[in-house]
């Protein structure tokens, strides 16, 4: 049995998500509380800015209900009565899944098909960290270990067999992946100049760093803001009045200021153009109004892209991703069905083993009782044991064959539950 209960950005407000969120230390405490409360039930906890989800499973023990499960982990953050109240009050924001739906949801989360931004690469690494933390807390077991490993393999299939991960949809990511990397073979030896120190510049620098950019200069009218951004990326700060000297040395420029008129005009560029010696210059103008005069883009070896160019690429990528989503979801459903078949096969084998062991135990006791009573010679004892073995094997043949052959069928869970109750396994 496997279940998921939690909430995400589609069903819950940011205020609700804050109440249910856990940092790494909090997650460790929550899992320790779970282990104490339910030592025979596996658990893993994923908590990000967009979701908090508890995954729990057991092969032998009845699972706690969703409210009890959430109350248990939330009680490390607040008194248990407050945790119970919170779960009741936020019930409308919660979602839960069981069995194959739970597996499909986990696989979709790891494959970034359930994210705010389809194909968001960070969620896979977040899911891996959540699993590693849960494994370290010793709350995972055979079911969740297999489920998360299958989730990671499914994410790899989605990334290889569809365009979901290949198409960026945020302006900074498109600027770097779809534009900069089409002009420069690599970024490791390129010099970057950031004109502006706001969120857009910071986000673009993040993507540049992911692709190897290391030499960064920041220039901003407010030097304090420039220094704060430079501290994050180990960058150099130049005064705003010296930005054109930095432009002469740059290979790649991020223009993202709040200026209402261009901060790089054609005449400005002409004054430093000869110093560039014809080197290619890639300019991302991420501002509106534009920071760089469009005519700068007409100069030789200058590649100037505006926010409109990038937005158009985002739209195209988003359309391609949306077209790929059904294919990716089919992969997820296929892997979830395969995973549940594997689980049911294992459960069937376990049930067959328990059934056979139980009947053989009864057989051995009865054989020993009979042999003590009749005092037969060794040859007769052998015949009696052989007869009892054949009888038990014949009686077991029908139920074990049914359990084995129906393990892959949709009725397998119900059949297994019936067998457990019928034979008290």
- At residue 312, the 3 state secondary structure works out as helix
- Structure-block tokens of residue 180: 């900069």
End-to-end CA distance of the chain: 16
Alpha-carbon span 31 to 136, nearest angstrom = 10
Query: For residues 425 and 417, what is the distance between their CA atoms, to the nearest angstrom?
Result: 10
46 φ/ψ sector (left φ>0, alpha ψ -120 to 50, else beta):
beta
Q: CA–CA separation, 61 vs 73, rounded Å? A: 19
| SS3 category, 72 | helix
CB 66 within 8 A of CB 96: yes
Tokens of 275: 């110093």
Q: What share of the chain is helix, strand, coil (3-state, %, to 5)?
A: 60, 10, 25
DSSP-assigned beta bridge partners for residue 305: 284
8 Å CB contact between 11 and 95: yes
User: Which H or E element spans position 164?
Assistant: none
CA angle 315, 327, 124 (to 5 degrees): 75
Token pair in block for residue 87 = 């779960």
> What's the chain's length in residues?
425
Residue among 13, 18, 40, 49 flagged as catalytic: 49
Active site residue 314: no
What positions carry a catalytic annotation?
49
């Amino acid at each position: 049995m496997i279940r998921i209960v939690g909430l995400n950005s589609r069903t819950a407000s940011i205020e609700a998500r804050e109440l249910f969120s856990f940092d790494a230390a909090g997650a460790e405490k929550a899992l320790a509380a779970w282990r104490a409360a339910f030592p025979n039930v596996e658990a893993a906890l994923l908590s990000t800015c967009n979701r908090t989800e508890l995954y729990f499973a057991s092969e032998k023990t009845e699972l706690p209900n969703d409210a009890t499960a959430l109350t248990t982990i939330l009680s490390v953050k607040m008194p248990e009565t407050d945790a119970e109240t919170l779960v009741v009050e936020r019930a409308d924001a919660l979602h839960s899944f069981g069995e194959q739906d739970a597996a499909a949801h986990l696989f979709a989360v790891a494959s970034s098909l359930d994210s705010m931004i389809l194909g968001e690469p960070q969620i896979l690494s977040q899911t891996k960290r959540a699993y590693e933390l849960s494994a370290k807390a010793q709350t995972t077991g055979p079911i969740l270990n297999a489920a998360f490993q299958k989730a990671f393999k499914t994410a790899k299939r989605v990334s290889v067999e569809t365009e979901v991960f290949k198409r960026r949809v945020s302006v900074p990511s498109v600027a770097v992946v779809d534009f900069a990397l089409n002009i420069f073979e690599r970024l490791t030896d390129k010099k970057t100049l950031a004109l502006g120190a706001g969120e857009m510049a910071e986000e673009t620098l993040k993507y540049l760093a992911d692709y190897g950019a290391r030499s960064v200069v920041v220039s901003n009218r407010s030097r304090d803001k420039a220094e704060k951004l430079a501290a994050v990326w180990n960058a150099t700060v130049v005064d705003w009045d010296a930005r054109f000297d930095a432009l002469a040395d740059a290979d790649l420029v991020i223009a993202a200021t709040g200026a209402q008129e261009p901060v790089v005009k054609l005449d400005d560029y002409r004054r430093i153009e000869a110093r560039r010696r014809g080197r290619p210059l890639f300019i991302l103008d991420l501002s509106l109004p534009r920071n760089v005069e469009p005519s700068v883009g007409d100069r030789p070896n200058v590649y100037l892209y505006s926010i409109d160019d990038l937005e158009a690429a985002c739209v195209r990528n988003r359309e391609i991703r949306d077209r790929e989503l059904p294919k990716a979801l089919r992969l997820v459903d296929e892997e979830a069905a395969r995973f549940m078949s594997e689980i049911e096969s294992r459960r069937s084998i376990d049930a067959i083993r328990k059934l056979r062991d139980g009947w053989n135990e009864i057989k051995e006791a009865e054989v020993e009782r009979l042999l003590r009573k009749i005092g037969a010679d060794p040859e007769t004892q052998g015949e009696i044991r052989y007869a009892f073995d054949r009888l038990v094997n014949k009686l077991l043949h029908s139920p074990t064959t049914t359990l084995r052959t129906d393990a892959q069928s949709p009725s397998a869970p119900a059949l297994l539950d019936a067998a457990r109750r019928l034979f008290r396994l």
